């Protein structure tokens, strides 16, 4: 078991979201539909935008190389397929610019699990990068809090924010 690494500086999430994306992606924002909001995420091949537990604020992000393990500390847990192309992954809030909150991950396909909870009034985000040998294909909601109301069939793609 490896020790999770905390990313610095703390994440400032806003518009109820934070983004995890491959560093090669030029426009990481996703166009959220009501269905995406209800399920708690919007994604593309190398981009995952997650609905945060609060509309805005600061949180701590930890990167884990081990598989996700269920824990009572998590209020919302979402797993999505994620392709790392560049070997570098970035975590940002939608209003953050010029930060380098990134880390290295080997190129390949992953099951990215975003597990969220609270500690001392701040959001805690644990990101688990689980290697998969064959593309995962489908997302899963592993823990749903009362704010989520996912459709029966999860939406597996989103448009780039701001593009027609």
How far is it, in rounded angstroms, from Cα 101 to Cα 23?
Answer: 11
Closest CA to 61 of 129, 124, 128: 124
107 Cβ partners below 8 Å, 6+ apart?
A: 84, 85, 86, 87
Q: What does the DSSP 8-state code read for residue 3?
A: P
| Local confidence pLDDT in tens for the 164 residues of the chain | 788 999 999 999 999 999 999 999 999 999 999 999 999 999 999 999 999 999 999 999 999 999 999 999 999 999 999 999 999 999 999 999 778 899 999 999 999 999 999 988 889 999 999 998 776 679 999 999 999 999 999 999 999 998 77
pLDDT at 94: 94
Token duo for residue 36 = 């995406």
Query: Class assignment of domain 5-143?
Result: mainly beta
């Amino acid at each position: 078991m490896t020790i999770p690494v905390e990313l610095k500086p703390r994440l400032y999430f806003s518009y109820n979201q934070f983004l995890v994306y491959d560093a090669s992606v030029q426009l990481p924002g996703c166009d959220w539909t009501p269905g995406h909001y209800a399920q708690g995420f919007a994604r593309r091949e190398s981009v995952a935008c997650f609905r945060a537990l609060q509309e805005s604020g600061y949180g701590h992000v930890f990167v884990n190389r081990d598989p996700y393990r269920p824990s009572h500390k998590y209020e919302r847990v979402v797993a999505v397929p994620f392709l790392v192309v560049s070997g570098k992954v970035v975590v940002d809030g939608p209003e953050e610019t010029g930060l380098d909150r990134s880390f290295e991950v080997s190129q390949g396909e992953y099951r990215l699990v975003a597990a969220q909870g609270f500690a001392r009034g701040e959001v805690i985000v644990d990101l688990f990068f689980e290697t998969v040998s064959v593309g995962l294909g489908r997302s899963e909601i592993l823990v749903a809090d009362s704010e989520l109301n996912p459709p029966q069939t999860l939406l597996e793609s989103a448009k780039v924010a701001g593009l027609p």
